[in-house]
Structure 1
Amino acid sequence: MLLSRPTWIAACAAAGSLAGAGYATAVEPHRVQVTRYRVCPRRWPAGLTMRVAVLTDFHAHPRCMGADAIADVVARTNAMAPDLTVLLGDYGSQHPGGVPFEVVADRLRFLHAPKGVYAIQGNHDWGDDPAALRRGHGPTRAERALRAAGIAVLENAAIRLDVPGPIWLAGLESEATPGRAQAPDRLDRQRSEILAHALRDVPAEGAVLLLAHEPDLFATGLDPRVALTLSGHTHGGQVRILGWSPWIPSRYGLRYAYGHIVEAQRDLIVSAGLGSHFLAGRPLRLGAPPEIVVVDLGRPDDAGTPADGLGSRSNAA
């Protein structure tokens, strides 16, 4: 059951005070982990392996995920030799003094992956751009900065990846894009229609990796061609105590809060993200450390990562 925002703030404040020595504000927000998954989706071609790095929810601010921290994340991500790197949105901070979008994009331009680096936008990339909101359409400042840095932005579109087999990468716009429905049932129908249009060129036998900042669309069942959905937005709850979080920005509460979720033989991975929202002027995380996600796609008995669907974490160096 979700709590009201005032209750969430009170719970977070209590959690921070109980953490001791400011751990939840001074330590955990800066301890970037590497979380690994091995997944073999139902539609995945036999014999094909692919490593995907997932970075999301930077909320870049000098006090948490500043420019140097982003550069370190980029270096660590490149060192894991992903075939494909994807960025799932929310690049700037909502707290005063955040790192400019242009600086964030300039650090991200050094990401390298042989099959490409692709980005989508999150709700805050719209919410933090008053000019784009007034216009009612993009490009947002974040989108312009990413494109200027040479990073491809997927907006309700799908491209075929240069790999054996019909593997496609699709990027969906955020729920916060101007003009989207507000009622949940209408929003779900609208986004399903947008996804269907984005996949119009994908053959029936194709397998799609879907990038969707908010994970809630997963509940609609999705197109059967979608092999794996990658999302962020929830920050893993940002405060997680024995698996419980006082507030999660999802209509489904804990259902899509974090990790590898399998429903009806469909796979979703939700990252806890890299940055943090602020409480009383300080970044806060407890039980949900920031993370670089690495997904190894292919047969579950391949070497290198845990068994299907099981995540493992390694601490920052």
Structure 2
Amino acid sequence: MKTRKFFAPVTASSHPRIVRHVITDPRWTLPDLTMAIFADLHVCDPWTSLAALRRMIGQVNGLGADLILLPGDFIVDRKLPARFIEAERIIAELAALSAPLGVFAVLGNHDWWDCRLARQSRFARNSVAEALEISPIRHLANRSSEIVHGGGSFWLAGMDSQGARKHLHLPGFHDPEAAFADVPEGAATILMAHEPDYFAEGDGRAFLQVSGHTHGGQANIFGWRPMTPSRYGGRYAYGHIEEGGRHLIVSGGIGYSGLPLRILQPPEITLVMLRRGI
């Protein structure tokens, strides 16, 4: 059983570990807030099946988080040897997620370039987006939402994938100006963006960015993560990163890309607690 922590094929994705981070920041003046991050599901048979997804949904709900964030990559990488599962079936299962302040999602790069509908429609339509729009999950496609909490409020901004058309050497669908358009200047704001690379832009409108995408490199060799899909190498590969007074949380996520194998980087559900700063 111990080997599951180091080499994580097949069944390990249905039994993820819980990784916790605590962030204390003076810009957070509201009561403590707990967020569960459920990233990079890549649902498929046999690696991360619908049955496994149901078990994990129960695990996420059992954490009692105030807010649940889904930072994209719901569907499987086409290069992975696996059976594709339609977005409608995945989102129908995820509709069982529940948190007092809501469940929010953005799309990932695989939700675009591995979506048959997106490719057939030349990216005019997307099966994951359409399934989200008719579900109880709030899809923050380059938009924001004000969330009331503890007698005050904060803002959650969501950005579409930066790498949605990278394989075609075309820009992504992220639009920071649209994502922050409704956010009042100086408001306590969290940004959810699938790829962590946007953090390098130094956008001060969000004091915290939440991302997935990297799978923690999917291989972690004593802190060296050579498979990290980022133009910054391992700089934003995993965990809690602080730069310029801003915070980035990169979840190791659940599923796989390329190969159904994780080395020293087991699947995880990430739990983040925000606390009042001094």
Taking structure 2 as the reference length, the TM-score comes to 0.89
Aligned twin of 2:58 = 75
Matched, 1:147 2:133: yes
Aligned twin of 2:202 = 221
Cα 1:132–1:23 change in 2 (3 A) is closer
Unaligned 5+ runs, structure 2: none
How many angstroms apart in 1 are the aligned matches of 2:65 and 2:102? 10
Matched, 1:170 2:147: no
Q: Name the aligned partner's letter for residue 198 of structure 1.
A: A
Aligned-pair identity (%): 37
Cα 1:43–1:78 change in 2 (3 A) is same
Aligned twin of 2:187 = 206
Aligned twin of 1:9 = none
How many angstroms apart in 2 are the aligned matches of 1:144 and 1:125? 11
Range with greater deviation from structure 2 (109-118 or 140-149): 140-149
Q: Is the 8 A contact 1:42 1:266 kept in 2?
A: no
Matched, 1:131 2:117: yes
Q: Name the aligned partner's letter for residue 271 of structure 1.
A: S
Moved over 6 A (4+): none
Cα 1:246–1:179 change in 2 (3 A) is closer
Name the SS for the 1:261 alignment partner.
strand
Question: Rg larger in 1 or in 2?
Answer: 1
Name the SS for the 1:40 alignment partner.
strand
Deviation at 1:112, TM superposition (A): 0.5
Aligned length: 271
Aligned twin of 1:195 = 176
Aligned twin of 1:100 = 86
Deviation at 1:278, TM superposition (A): 4.3
Aligned twin of 2:268 = 291
How many angstroms apart in 2 are the aligned matches of 1:66 and 1:146? 19
Cα 1:23–1:259 change in 2 (3 A) is closer
Deviation at 1:132, TM superposition (A): 1.8
RMSD: 2.6
> Mapping of 1:1-317 within 5 angstroms?
23-26=7-10, 28-45=12-29, 47-94=30-77, 95=80, 96-163=82-149, 164-177=151-164, 182=169, 194-222=175-203, 224-279=204-259, 283-299=260-276
Question: Whose helix fraction is larger, Structure 1's or Structure 2's?
Answer: 1
Aligned twin of 1:311 = none
Q: Name the aligned partner's letter for residue 171 of structure 1.
A: G
Unaligned 5+ runs, structure 1: 1-18, 302-317
CA offsets per residue over residues 72-109 of structure 1, 9 Å max, x none? 11111111111111101111112341222122111101
Q: Name the aligned partner's letter for residue 284 of structure 1.
A: L
Name the SS for the 2:85 alignment partner.
coil
CA offsets per residue over residues 115-145 of structure 1, 9 Å max, x none? 1111100000001123323434444101112
